[in-house]
Amino acid sequence: MLPIVTQAAARAQLLRHLTETLRALPAELSLALWHPDLPKARMHDGVTLFGIPFDDDDADGDEGGDVGRSAVFDIGYWVVGTTPDTSGAYLDMVMRVWSDRGWTTRTFRDSPPLDGFAHSPDGYGFSVRQSINGYLSMSGTTPPFMVDPNPGDPFPDRIDHPAGEL
């Protein structure tokens, strides 16, 4: 069973995973909620999806347990710097990055629009997909967390390539 994390910690780790994936890709790429070639196709700025009642007896060690609601956070970005002609190659690169990290990966299609999925050992889920017109997007989902009043920092509208950052 994965450790129970706060909403803020889960979201911060998701942002780290997305940034580290981007760091392993060519420097011309970035992630953005909007794509310059698709001005009407803005991605949502993240959504919290509520789940079933969550009993954290095991987490805090008390016998009474706290029953609350669990949730996951999901966000998607366009992969800016790809084109319909290059998106298949970049999708393969993303899948290789995830596989090289030891994440469980899978694909379902051999012809466009392509998609790939990954699951990290710490419980995060990711997808990379070609749109019907060939543009590439990447999304990530946290593992379940206990709903709390502090969601953490908002996700950025754009994640520039972290090349050169330490």
What pLDDT digit, counting tens, does each position of 22-47 carry?
999 999 999 999 999 998 999 988 99
pTM of the predicted model as reported, rounded to 2 decimal places: 0.86
pLDDT of residue 59: 45
The answer, yes or no, to whether residue 63 has pLDDT greater than 80, is no
Per-residue pLDDT for 141 more than 70?
yes
pLDDT digits (tens, 9 = 90+) for 93-129: 999 999 999 999 999 887 889 999 999 999 999 999 9
pLDDT at 5 over 70: yes
65 φψ region: left (φ > 0), alpha (ψ -120 to 50), beta (else) = left
Average confidence (pLDDT) over 61-84: 77
Between residues 110 and 18, which one has the greater pLDDT?
18
Encoded amino acid at 64, one letter = G
DSSP conformation letters of the chain = -PPP--HHHHHHHHHHHHHHHHHTS-TT-EEESSBTTBTT-PPPS-EEEEEEEEE-HHHH--SS--EEEEEEEEEEEEEETB-TTTHHHHHHHHHHHHHHTT-EEEE--SSSSPEEEEE-TTS-EEEEEE-TTS-EEEEEEPPPEE--S---SPPPSEE---TT--
